[in-house]
Amino acid sequence: MPAKAELYRTAARVLNTLDRTGWILRYRYGDRRLLEDVILPSLDRDPAVTSVLLVGCAWYTRHYPRLLPRTHVVTMEIDPAKAPFGGERHLVANMVDIEDHVAPGSLDAVVCNGVLGWGLDDADAVEAAFAGAVTCLKPQGLFLLGWNDVVPRNGCAPHSIAALDGLEAVPVPGLGAHSLVALERNQHCYQAWRKPADEATPAQNTDQTPLKRRASSDGE
Ligand SMILES: C[S@@+](CC[C@H](N)C(=O)[O-])C[C@H]1O[C@@H](n2cnc3c(N)ncnc32)[C@H](O)[C@@H]1O
């Protein structure tokens, strides 16, 4: 096993053990607290939300699926080594290829925090990834974006992304505003959009699971 993968696997094991004692090691910055204490719990309390995709995994996001106990959560991360930080249902995948993994019209929410400008950088890739995410949302599904409006993270600012054009700007769950800078230092901004209600879904999803195939829990 490559050294990085082994390091992450060990870190995840130690952190998960600590988590079980109730001592959750996490970032204490205001932007993280807002996401973890307000936005994700608000999303979970919404009775209309039953399926959520969380994109991008790291040691400090490993507990995010547990912040959404009511919902069917799938995590997605391009780096196979970070799979131990994903949830029980985890996809090792590039968000650009989201439609290869997630059924169209199957998700109530996509949470894409810290991915735009953090690996998802190329304008064409951003368009493909976000258009794919919109396709995978149910009508009225929520696209929640966290991004940093600082160089070099802001090469593709949301207002320039055509895939978001057809969506309605809505308040971020729990925040009462469509756009909020959660931390001045890094201009970490949360924004939310809703897919139109009347947009035809390419396929009816009668299944409970949004996955096209079984997700792996350990990076395949
Ligand atoms: C800054 S980190 C953490 C993101 C995490 N969602 C958060 O809340 O902070 C960004 C992560 O996004 C992943 N990532 C970058 N581009 C991606 C893509 N196209 N598809 C899936 N994951 C991607 C990176 O590998 C990295 O682990």
- Residue 1 pLDDT grade (very low, low, confident, very high; cuts 50, 70, 90): low
In the reported structure, the alpha carbon of residue 56 is separated from the centroid of ligand 1 by a whole-number distance in angstroms of 3
99, 135 contact by CB (below 8 A): yes
Looking only at the bridges linking them, the beta strands covering 72-77 and 107-113 are unpaired
- Pocket probe for ligand 1: among 118, 144, 156, 186, the residue whose CB has the most ligand atoms within 8 Å is 118
- Map out the domains of the chain with their CATH numbers: 3-194 (3.40.50.150)
Residues with CB under 6 A from ligand 1: 55-58, 61, 76-79, 82, 94-96, 113-115, 118-120, 129
- Residue 63 pLDDT grade (very low, low, confident, very high; cuts 50, 70, 90): very high
Long-range CB contacts (< 8 A, 24+ apart) of 174-181?
174/38, 174/39, 174/41, 174/42, 174/43, 175/34, 175/38, 175/39, 180/34, 181/149
17-31, 147-161, 174-188: segment of lowest average pLDDT: 17-31
Residue 208 has pLDDT above 60, yes or no: no
Distances (CA, A) of 69 to 9, 44, 51, 65, 202: 24, 7, 11, 7, 29
- Residue 209 pLDDT grade (very low, low, confident, very high; cuts 50, 70, 90): low
Token pair, residue 129, equals 């990834």
Residue 78 has pLDDT above 80, yes or no: yes
Please give the pLDDT value at position 205: 45
In the reported structure, the alpha carbon of residue 198 is separated from the centroid of ligand 1 by a whole-number distance in angstroms of 31
Please give the pLDDT value at position 16: 92
90, 216 contact by CB (below 8 A): yes
Please give the pLDDT value at position 111: 98
Please give the pLDDT value at position 200: 53
Token pair, residue 40, equals 């994700």
In the reported structure, the alpha carbon of residue 213 is separated from the centroid of ligand 1 by a whole-number distance in angstroms of 21
Please give the pLDDT value at position 199: 52
Token pair, residue 106, equals 């199957």
- Residue 186 pLDDT grade (very low, low, confident, very high; cuts 50, 70, 90): very high
